């Protein structure tokens, strides 16, 4: 079944040209629309309703990614 969420990693229609880098459970991508210059998104590969529902393991990985970016 094809996912309709345009952020989901498993969606066959995902805009792969917007992806900057892939991590184990997240990927970095440019925003689809103009937000601000140099803006990018940290997106979980698994479909989630909101970041507050991230498991402790995923939160740790996201913080590690943020640290590497800074």
* Per-residue pLDDT tens digits for 3-46: 578 788 888 888 888 999 999 999 999 887 766 767 888 999 98
Whole-number pLDDT of residue 23:
96
Q: Residues, the chain, total?
A: 70
pTM surpassing 0.85?
A: no
Cα distances (Å, whole numbers) of residue 13 to 6, 10, 21, 38: 7, 9, 18, 24
Per 3-state DSSP, the chain is made up of helix, strand and coil in percentages (nearest 5) of: 30, 20, 50
Whole-number pLDDT of residue 2:
45
Higher pLDDT pick, 36 / 2: 36
- CA dist 12 and 52 (Å) reads 26
């Amino acid at each position: 079944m094809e996912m309709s969420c345009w952020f989901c990693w498993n969606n066959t229609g995902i805009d792969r040209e917007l992806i900057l880098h892939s991590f184990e459970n997240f990927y970095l991508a440019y925003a689809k629309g103009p937000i601000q210059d140099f803006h990018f998104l940290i997106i979980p590969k698994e479909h989630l309703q909101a970041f507050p529902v991230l498991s402790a393991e995923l939160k740790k990985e996201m913080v590690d990614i943020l640290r590497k970016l800074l």
